[in-house]
Amino acid sequence: MSNQYQGATEEQFTLKDVIIGLLAAKDAVLKSWKHVVSITLLGLIIGWGLDIYLKKPPSYVAEVVFNLGTAGSSSGLPAGLGNFFGMGGSADANIFTGENFFIWVKSSPVLERALMKTVQVNGKDVLMANFYIDSSNIKNDRWEKATHWHDFKFKTNHVDSMTIDERRVLNDVIEDISDATQIDELGRKSSFMTLTVTTINENLSTIWANTLLETVDEFYAEIQTTKTRKTLSLLEKRADSLGRKLAGSETTLARATDQSIYSVEVETPARLSKLTRDNEFIQRLYLEALAGAEQTRVSLVREAPLFTIVEPIKRPLDLTYDPGKRKQIGALLGLLFALIYVYFKSAYEEAVREKKKRAEPKFVELEQ
């Protein structure tokens, strides 16, 4: 019973100490209210100044929702032809599944090809990379100190022929435009995807979103149909080779036929018969090669993936503004520093009083 009473007493004293401490803190804050207000206002002013200095211009958001259709099979190839060349199946689509596809869309090869495309801007043909340099905020952000790049223009869209400086600029543009581009799933249960572009120029956001999507479509189709296109190339080369051999064989057969009219040799009919068989064999191979190439072309069309625009870019584009929350953060930090200042000030004053109290002489009354 005594233990329970002692615990309750300690708990009451603890709560009492807390209340006393809170009251003391309130008195200290009220006593130094000028300092609290001043420091809080100082934090607010600093945050407000940062909002003005670091304020970003409004951004235009272009968003397009699309669906990526899968490629068809290669069943249109002649029987056994794909196995013969080792290219009968469709391309390996592992890089286009899940997160791999999103990484691939923002990879350097894809962005580089899109930037090197020619686009229409106000009726003029402009290189996409030059349009981005002139219309984005890359000069003020990424190239704030690299002022020698502010007037840079790409003179060619052939990356292999670029100089080292041109390559550096292109790499910087790729990195900057990648930050302005986002691609994600529309929903976990949906196969739709969204491509979002955010820049300070409405026309730039729209053109870049369309150009990138067009490039992804082209690049993806090329990769998906690589094996079939290689098969078609081999078949066309084989058909050309057989065509030349057939032309030579027909010429030889015609010449031998003309000579056999006046020939009295016993071997002439046998030789003529052999030339006829060889010509028919080459002709059959040539026709098969032509038929295989035609069927492969049909298969190539069927295998090409289909990009379906589910929701095109709406006009006008949505505007996003910098919320400018630095002044609120500055005010909160100012208030926090003010409370810390008041605490240390009160503790210091208490320590000084305690020191003075101990230093005062003590008088003891003697009993008479």
Q: Strand 118-121 and strand 59-68: pairing?
A: unpaired
357 exposure class (CB count in 10 Å sphere: 0-12, 13-18, 19+): exposed
The residues pairing with 62 across neighbouring beta strands, listed in sequence order, are 197
Determine whether 296 is exposed, middle or buried from the number of CB atoms within 10 Å of its CB (0-12, 13-18, 19+): buried
* Residues 6 or more apart in contact with residue 260 via CB below 8 angstroms: 268, 269, 272
pLDDT at position 211:
94
The two tokens of residue 297 are 């072309």
CB atoms within 10 A of CB 85: 18
Map out the domains of the chain as residue ranges: 2-55+324-359, 59-75+89-225+307-320, 229-303
Main-chain phi, psi angles of 319, to 5 degrees = -105, 135
> Which pLDDT score, from 0 to 100, does residue 145 have?
84
* Residue 342 CA from chain centroid, whole number: 50
**The pLDDT of residue 305:** 65
65 contacts 311 by C-beta, under 8 angstroms: yes
Amino acid identity, position 318: D
Cα–Cα distance measured from residue 105 to residue 185, given in angstroms and rounded to the nearest whole number: 13
DSSP code, position 98: T
Separation CA 141–CA 272 (nearest Å): 82
Q: Which residues contact 103 (CB under 8 A, 6 or more apart)?
A: none
3-class DSSP assignment, residue 53: helix
* Closest alpha carbon to 171 in 137, 142, 201, 214: 142
What pLDDT is stored for residue 91 in this prediction? 42
User: Which run of H or E residues covers position 181?
Assistant: strand 181-185
State both tokens at 245. Answer: 């051999």
Query: From first to last of its 368 residues, what are the pLDDT tens digits of the chain?
Result: 444 444 444 444 466 666 666 666 666 667 777 777 777 787 777 776 766 666 667 788 999 998 876 554 444 444 444 444 444 444 444 566 778 888 888 999 999 999 999 999 888 999 999 999 998 888 888 888 888 888 899 988 888 888 999 999 999 999 999 999 999 888 777 778 899 999 988 999 999 999 999 998 888 877 777 777 788 788 888 888 888 888 888 788 777 776 766 655 656 667 777 878 888 888 888 888 888 888 878 877 776 666 778 888 888 887 776 666 776 787 788 778 777 777 777 777 777 777 777 766 654 444 44
Nearest Cα neighbor of 231 from 313, 168, 289 is: 289
pLDDT at 178: 93
Helix (H, G, I), strand (E, B) or coil at 33: helix
DSSP summary character for residue 127: E
